[in-house]
Amino acid sequence: MGAKVKIAFYDAKQYDSESFDRRNADFGYSIKYFPLHLTEETAQFSKGYDIVCAFVNDTLSGAVIDILVTNGVKLVAMRCAGYNNVDLKAAFGKLHIVRVPAYSPYAVAEHAVALMMSLNRKTHKAYYRTRDNNFTINGLAGFDMNGKTAGVVGTGRIGRILIKILKGFGMNVIAHDHYPDEAGAEELGYSYVSLDELYARSDIISLHCPLTKETQHMINDDTIAKMKDKVMIINTGRGQLIDSKALIEGLKSKKIGSAGLDVYEEEGDYFFEDFSSEGLEDDVLARLLTFPNLLVTSHQAFFTVEALENIAHTTLENIRVFIEKDELPNEICYHCQTGGCAKKKNGRCF
């Protein structure tokens, strides 16, 4: 059965094919790697394939979904946790969508800390100085993490791991979550507060919540005004949690002391690609990159060997249980959008 299953794999990079080929030795599927993003134009390549494997910057609009269905695709296997690029309403009743709900929360939490430490101690600047034989330390002063207050927005797996790390630095941690984990708070020694209180008290704010209508642009002109002067903002969640133009104004006014972004709200056209020989047409991103106190990484927080192996295994296992058992334990649908649907029967949403 496995050898007959054909998978169209979009937005494929070398590290994708390497990790999936290693794992696929246990499954035996036929995988065709397409370097192109999934769009209305490239969706035509899915004809003759049973499964489409997509990533965060692929487009799964209603029009794309209709093309996939017409081409005979039965399942879209997202090889990521996020799915804000999927029109779930358009997909419901037509095409099943599965995801990888967790691959390595340690990878993302640790990357958030790497951004914090780099911004604080300016190690990225020191690296370039010493490479030029410049050993001055003027302008490189940071602050002790110990005793400072960190505000963590979202206390799921990633948020809780981050809290453990920050507590290890001796930081005071406050948090906000729509569904507070009071037992976890007592165990780890942090407290839940309102967003306004978190903004007002935090020296560092780190975002680890999903992108929803309520959280879109939660960091904006009004909320930045409520924050401490010289606050550090870290975002390894979703780009649209931050209004980029408001972030620029906060950096210009020095209300925001520094910011670390692993995601950007319009990243789809740039992240994971090489534009080193070209100019940026995105004026907002270009402006952000001019700030010396802003550090951008290209959506690499997930990018560890362990995470890549887990992504490949879970994605292929999602396909296996669909093919062999007609079950979809990691399905996301229009009704639940969290992987657990009240309408779900036998592991399927419809």
Q: What is the pLDDT of residues 85-100, one digit of tens each?
A: 999 999 999 999 999 9
Mean pLDDT of 201-210: 96
Q: With cut-offs at 50, 70 and 90, classify the pLDDT of residue 273.
A: confident
Which is more confidently placed, 303 or 2?
303
Q: With cut-offs at 50, 70 and 90, classify the pLDDT of residue 1.
A: very low
> Which range is least confidently modeled, 5-19, 47-61, 260-274?
260-274
Q: Residues 85, 115: one domain?
A: no
Q: What angle do CA 300, 303, 304 make, to 5 degrees?
A: 150
pLDDT of 84 higher than 90: no
Asked whether the CA dihedral 89, 91, 92, 93 is positive or negative, the reply is positive
Can you give the CATH number for the domain in which 169 is found? Answer: 3.40.50.720
Average pLDDT of the residues of the chain: 93
pLDDT of residue 274: 87
Q: What is the pLDDT of residues 30-66, one digit of tens each?
A: 999 999 999 999 999 999 999 999 999 899 999 999 9
Q: Residues 152, 20: one domain?
A: no
Is the Cβ–Cβ distance between 219 and 243 less than 8 Å?
A: yes
Which of the residues 265, 267, 317, 331 is marked catalytic?
Answer: 267
pLDDT of 11 higher than 70: yes
Q: Residues 264, 152: one domain?
A: yes
Q: Residues 159, 214: one domain?
A: yes
Q: With cut-offs at 50, 70 and 90, classify the pLDDT of residue 340.
A: low
Proportion of the chain above pLDDT 90, given as a percent: 84
Q: Residues 85, 156: one domain?
A: no
- In a domain? residue 281: yes
- In a domain? residue 178: yes
- In a domain? residue 166: yes
Q: Residues 169, 58: one domain?
A: no
Q: How many domains does the chain have?
A: 2
Residue 224: is it exposed, middle or buried by C-beta count within 10 angstroms (0-12/13-18/19+)?
A: buried
pLDDT of residue 335: 72
- In a domain? residue 343: no
pLDDT of residue 154: 97
> Which range is least confidently modeled, 57-71, 148-162, 235-249, 271-285?
271-285
Q: What is the pLDDT of residues 190-200, one digit of tens each?
A: 999 999 999 99
Write the CA distances from 203 to 99, 102, 113, 124, 293, integer angstroms.
34, 29, 14, 21, 15
Q: With cut-offs at 50, 70 and 90, classify the pLDDT of residue 337.
A: low
267 among known catalytic residues: yes
217 among known catalytic residues: no
CB atoms within 10 A of CB 308: 22
- In a domain? residue 347: no
Q: Residues 235, 163: one domain?
A: yes
Which of the residues 23, 79, 238, 313 is marked catalytic?
Answer: 238
Strand, helix or coil for residue 253: coil
Mean pLDDT of 146-152: 98
Q: Residues 155, 288: one domain?
A: yes
Separation between Cα atoms, residue 301 and residue 303, nearest integer Å: 6
299 among known catalytic residues: yes
pLDDT of 339 higher than 70: no
Q: With cut-offs at 50, 70 and 90, classify the pLDDT of residue 81.
A: confident
Q: Residues 10, 89: one domain?
A: yes
- In a domain? residue 239: yes
The verdict on pTM exceeding 0.75 is yes
Is the Cβ–Cβ distance between 151 and 174 less than 8 Å?
A: yes
Which of the residues 111, 299, 313, 317 is marked catalytic?
Answer: 299
- In a domain? residue 340: no
Q: Residues 226, 291: one domain?
A: yes
pLDDT of residue 229: 98
- In a domain? residue 344: no
pLDDT of residue 348: 66
Structural domain containing residue 282: 105-296
Q: With cut-offs at 50, 70 and 90, classify the pLDDT of residue 173.
A: very high
Mean pLDDT of 273-283: 87
Q: Residues 292, 267: one domain?
A: yes
Separation between Cα atoms, residue 11 and residue 268, nearest integer Å: 11
Q: Residues 42, 158: one domain?
A: no
